[in-house]
Structure 1
């Protein structure tokens, strides 16, 4: 059965995830390093990850698999989930794929280096309504594909 894993600490699209999951009848596991309120729905479960860097990422990466969807802005986490057969999707609707993850990791490293030496600053542009809409559409597609993949594996 398809599970949507949410790297939830800074995820701006949790409500959208719950809507899509309810529509498709899939479970959602919200993973974070601190407690957060989640809907009291049978298909939503909260998982408190241990303290420490990357603990929530480790928890998700160890459990996801073929037929699952991981929602994260964390490119290294996405790169750990893809080889396991899980789909990975950023909160702006950007899918991470086997063919795009290498470039995304390289860009991440380059930008980190540029910030360290003071050439680049700031972060991503503000999250807007178009991002939310794009995410809803992309998640719906990813869940349908993951469900089909999961059925084929059974």
Structure 2
């Protein structure tokens, strides 16, 4: 098992949780971004810098994961591709994407995009909270415990 992180938009507090989990469980954690991301010195943590461009980091992740991996992303189309490959995907707020909920998430994403493009002013997601951080840590711990068995 490896942890893959869609790192460009991942909150720093989530990266810190992932770094600690990688060290504790001795699982490889790979951050993928189109710019250099700061990482602590560790044989369990690495970064992959990809070229700039639409979905370049997402495509790199999908091309390199296998079914035992876990991907952290808020990108719903990426999560859908991850699920199609049989891997797990969670968002930084601790929500596990599944075959059962990903189609609904894609539909809602497309609907919101249509609304924005037609000029409707929409609020963004709520600010990242301590509760979100805890939900992520709990979901991550649960998934790691299941995969490490």
Of 30-39 and 110-119, the range deviating more from structure 2: 110-119
1:147 CA drift (Å): 3.2
RMSD: 1.1
Alpha-carbon distance in structure 2 between the residues aligned to 1:24 and 1:70: 16
Q: TM-score, normalised on structure 2? A: 0.94
More RCO (CA 8 Å, sep 6+): 1
1:29-65 CA-to-partner distances (Å, cap 9, x unmatched) read 0000011111111000110012211000000001111
Q: TM-score, normalised on structure 1? A: 0.91
The alignment partner of 2:84 has SS state of helix
1:122 CA drift (Å): 2.5
Q: What are structure 1's unaligned runs of at least 5 residues?
A: 149-154
Alpha-carbon distance in structure 2 between the residues aligned to 1:107 and 1:145: 30
1:59 and 2:25 equivalent?
A: no
Of 117-126 and 9-18, the range deviating more from structure 2: 117-126
Q: Counterparts of 1:4-153 in structure 2 under 5 Å?
A: 4-12=3-11, 13-148=14-149
Q: What are structure 2's unaligned runs of at least 5 residues?
A: none
1:66-103 CA-to-partner distances (Å, cap 9, x unmatched) read 11100000000000011212100000001100111000
1:114 CA drift (Å): 1.1
**Alignment: residue pair count:** 147
* Alignment partner, residue 151 of structure 1: none
